[in-house]
Amino acid sequence: MNSFASEWANWLPERRCALNESIIELNAENFEAEVLQSEQPVLVDFWAEWCAPCRMLAPTIDEIAENYSGRVKVGKLNVDDCGAIAARYQIRGIPTILVFSGGEVHEQMVGASSKENIIRMVDKVAATEATA
């Protein structure tokens, strides 16, 4: 195993299920209340444990959750555990980020992206929410 693969393998177990306090672990039981009925905009990260780009995006999602705490909810939904919800939103590739406001999808991004692009997307929805 080369050094990059070795470092990646060592890093993976620590990140696998480590949701920070600002991130809501979404599932079939709480999706409606936490996302669709939320009074705040909600960023939902559709991911899976086996998805390398999802793992690479995780620190960015963590940082956004901390920086937007109190203004925007951030949740992660494991597509392997919640396939019906992923199907409802036609999630065909992961990572996929949807930003909900008023129970509807307002922004969508498929694939790993830069923190700046995700922030721009969240700010757009949050600004619209603030003027509504």
What DSSP letter does each residue of 47-66 carry, written as one string? E-TT-HHHHHHHHHHHHHHH
Q: How many CB atoms lie within 10 A of CB 67?
A: 14
Q: Is 54 considered catalytic here?
A: yes
Q: Per-residue pLDDT averaged across 70-94, rounded? A: 97
Pick the catalytic residue from 54, 61, 65, 98: 54
Residue 51 a catalytic site member: yes
Instruction: List Cα–Cα distances, 110 to 14, 50, 70, 124, in angstroms.
Output: 25, 17, 25, 17
User: Of residues 51, 61, 86, 121, which has the active-site annotation?
Assistant: 51
Q: What span, in angstroms and rounded, lies between the C-alpha atoms of 33 and 51?
A: 27
pLDDT digits (tens, 9 = 90+) for 37-71: 999 999 999 999 999 999 999 999 999 999 999 99
Instruction: Please tell me the predicted confidence (pLDDT) of residue 12.
Output: 42
Specify the amino acid at residue 107.
Answer: E
What residues are paired with 101 via a beta bridge?
104
Does the predicted TM-score (pTM) go above 0.75? yes
Whether the Cβ atoms of residue 38 and residue 81 lie closer than 8 Å to each other? no
Between residues 12 and 34, the one the model is more confident about: 34
Rounded alpha-carbon distances, angstroms, from residue 117 to 52, 61, 78, 86, 93: 19, 12, 22, 22, 18
